[in-house]
Amino acid sequence: MSMYSLSLLTIFLSCVTSIPVKDAKNSFLSRLEILEEKFKNYEEDMARLHYLEFWYKELHHKLSDFTFAKR
């Protein structure tokens, strides 16, 4: 997002919410930082999920091979 569009957005937010421009910009940036952190955590969680899913499938496959071999 360019600084120009960010400035326009903060001015718009300050008009709509009756918050001074500086406070609106700081509030917007802090919310943006929180969203970025949540997205980063989401990406890490998805990586862990794929890792666990891979090992679950491997274990299931090995256990089913063992069960069939035992019969």
pLDDT range class, residue 71, cuts 50, 70, 90: low
The pLDDT tens digits of the residues spanning 5-62 come to 767 777 776 665 555 556 666 777 888 888 888 888 888 888 899 999 999 999 988 8
Q: Quote the tokens at residue 62.
A: 């090995």
Burial 22-59 (b: 16+ CB within 10 A, else e): eebbeebeeeeeeeeeeeeeeeeeeeeeeeeeeeeeee
Helix, strand, coil fractions of the chain, as percent rounded to 5: 90, 0, 10
- Cβ-based neighbour number of residue 11 at 10 Å: 13
Q: How many domains does the chain have?
A: 1
Instruction: Specify the pTM.
Output: 0.41
